[in-house]
Amino acid sequence: MKKQDMNRDWIATARTLSQALPYLQRYTNAIIVIKLGGHAMGSDEGMESFARDVVLMRQVGINPVIVHGGGPMINALLDKLEIKSEFVNGKRVTDEKTMEVVEMVLSGTVNKRIVQAINRQGGRAVGLSGKDANLITCTQTNPELGLVGTPSEVNPQVIRTLFENGLIPVIAPLGAGENGETFNINGDTAAGAIAASLKADRLLLLTDVSGVKNGEGEVLTELNAKQIRDMTADGTIAGGMIPKTETALDALEGGTRAVVILDGRAPNACLLELFTEHGAGSIIRLG
């Protein structure tokens, strides 16, 4: 690369940092809950980039919380162990044998991979699950689905304690029942419940699509709760986007300021959303 080109690149970088200043100031001490999906953490390069972004957020005064999924990794291990799954209305029945695999993957392999990636970038991440310190108490979602839970109570005190010590929580979506059972929680649902309990400034739902789309397939950059409900009723929002938008509405009604659905595979997606004027994905507010 020519020296002149290099100088242009450095000038552009400096200009970008300067333009980011108002956003850096806006988010000082803000709580940002990030749902990292199983597909969004596919490659080592993508994980490294995500971890670097999270460490940067912490460095500039943001309190990030990572809630992760792990569906593809769970499926792979179940197949390897030749444990067959039953499904009810497209949802996996989680029996005790399946639950052992789910907990092994979520609290073990996946959680520690994210923690290690953040720590390698100079952050201080701590892995835990919703079972730790009574973080998430669950009720059974549907007896037909077995050990699948819906959060009934979230106690975020352990997360606030980690914030006070400069640590980054990385949370596996598991919860405890009133009788000590372990429940598997949908990752989006867990992230929404945690964001609501913390009254988070933002909940970022990282997916494998660019955002909420209208009938013509165009990404809508801003939506409110009424638009979400109308688009769901007329079928514009369908399939896998329905549980994500439902999570968004629940989180907003619980006290989260705004929810953003964005493509977690895009480089620096979180930074683009937080620190640039145009943002990324679809931001949803109550009104």
Sign of CA dihedral 40, 25, 286, 31: positive
Domain that residue 264 falls in: 26-285
Q: Among residues 53, 188, 201, 250, which one is catalytic?
A: 188
Q: Among residues 46, 71, 177, 279, which one is catalytic?
A: 71
pLDDT band at 103 (very low <50, low <70, confident <90, very high): very high
Q: Among residues 38, 127, 187, 211, which one is catalytic?
A: 38
Residue 147 belongs to a domain: yes
Domain count for the chain, please give it.
1
**Catalytic residue status for 244:** yes
Residue 21 belongs to a domain: no
C-alpha–C-alpha distance, residues 98 and 176, integer Å: 16
Q: With a threshold of 0.75, does the pTM exceed it?
A: yes
**Catalytic residue status for 175:** no
Residue 7 belongs to a domain: no
Residue 94 belongs to a domain: yes
Residue 34 pLDDT > 60: yes
* Mean pLDDT score, 101-112: 95
* Mean pLDDT score, 192-207: 97
DSSP states along 48-106: HHHHHHHHHHHHTT-EEEEEE--HHHHHHHHHHTT----EETTEE-B-HHHHHHHHIII
**Catalytic residue status for 71:** yes
**Catalytic residue status for 38:** yes
Residue 250 pLDDT > 90: yes
| Predicted pLDDT at 3 | 55
pLDDT band at 98 (very low <50, low <70, confident <90, very high): very high
| Predicted pLDDT at 254 | 96
Residue 264 belongs to a domain: yes
Minimal CA–CA distance to 282: which of 43, 254, 269, 11? 269
Q: Are 27 and 63 in contact (CB under 8 A)?
A: no
Residue 223 belongs to a domain: yes
CATH number for the domain harbouring residue 133:
3.40.1160.10
Q: Among residues 53, 123, 244, 254, which one is catalytic?
A: 244
Residue 259 belongs to a domain: yes
Query: Measured in whole angstroms, how far is the alpha carbon of residue 149 from the centre of its chain?
Result: 18
Q: Summarize pLDDT for 60-91 with one digit per residue, the tens.
A: 999 999 999 998 899 999 999 999 888 787 67
| Predicted pLDDT at 278 | 74
